[in-house]
Amino acid sequence: MANHSQFGFQDASSPIMEELVEFHDHALMVALAICSLVLYLLTLMLMEKLSSNTVDAQEVELIWTILPAIVLILLALPSLQILYMMDEIDEPDLTLKAIGHQWYWSYEYTDFKDLSFDSYMIPTTELPLGHFRLLEVDHRVVVPMESPIRVIITADDVLHSWAIPTLGVKTDAIPGRLNQTSFITTRPGIFYGQCSEICGANHSYMPIVVESTPLTYFESWSSLLTS
């Protein structure tokens, strides 16, 4: 959960988010190296008197042509790897269907015969003590920990977006179209997200809450709802 004085990302709770944070740090170090080099060269040109060798130097031109290409390769290769990992869905243990409405979410566990529910934000006047305002819902999405989860996402009316930052998930919900994503939770906990596509007047009032639990608890929860 993010706080007001936080400058970085939330703690990663999935392998994809761990890769994204690592790539973010890698890209920042590359940008820092570029800025330091440019600042050094600018300072050197301002402090030193230019000579004919500095003005016309084919070696320098060769370096500043090849060096940016190498930098782009260093950024592109890990980025393409993460994009491939985000799109890869291999034999999920559970399939969840999320349907966006104005302004709530509906969920269907397609592996179960009759397990579906609507998830509404709890109004501030009814919010229990200690819960998060504008983020808590009446029905949480419960998933088993350390299991591949496939999420099929669509919308019933307008564009929405199913996003949970700590899991590294953000997929648009489009009417008449099925998009899919996947994630694996690496630890138990409660993860908060929100619709990240402006979808109307109450766009900021349709939160997403995913609760990651051990498999035994998930089986008890699902059997209780389907009985």
pLDDT in tens, 144-192: 999 999 999 999 989 999 999 999 999 999 999 999 999 999 999 999 9
**What's the pLDDT band for 118 if we cut at 50, 70, 90?**
very high
Residue 57 has pLDDT above 80, yes or no: no
**What's the pLDDT band for 41 if we cut at 50, 70, 90?**
confident
Domain edge (last residue) among 38, 61, 87: 87
d(CA 97, CA 171): 12
pLDDT at 87: 84
CB 120, CB 126: distance < 8 Å:
no
Q: Are 56 and 157 part of one and the same domain? A: no
pLDDT at 55: 56
State how beta strands 189-195 and 160-164 pair: antiparallel
154 forms beta bridges with 99
% of the chain with per-residue pLDDT over 90: 56
Domain residues for the domain of 165 are 94-225
**What's the pLDDT band for 199 if we cut at 50, 70, 90?**
confident
Query: 3 in a domain, yes or no?
Result: no
Query: 127 in a domain, yes or no?
Result: yes
Least confident residue range of 1-15, 59-73, 85-99, 123-137: 1-15
Higher pLDDT, 95 or 130: 95
* Mean pLDDT computed over 66-90: 88
End-to-end CA distance of the chain: 33
0.95 exceeded by pTM: no
Strand spans (E) along the chain: 94-101, 104-109, 116-119, 141-144, 149-155, 160-164, 169-173, 179-183, 189-195, 207-213
Rounded to 10 degrees, what is the CA torsion of 81, 83, 89, 92? Answer: 90
How many domains is the chain partitioned into structurally?
2
Q: Are 35 and 53 part of one and the same domain? A: yes
Domain edge (last residue) among 69, 87, 105: 87
Residue showing tokens 């782009």: 72
Residue 50 has pLDDT above 70, yes or no: no
Mean pLDDT over the full length of the chain: 89
pLDDT at 42: 86
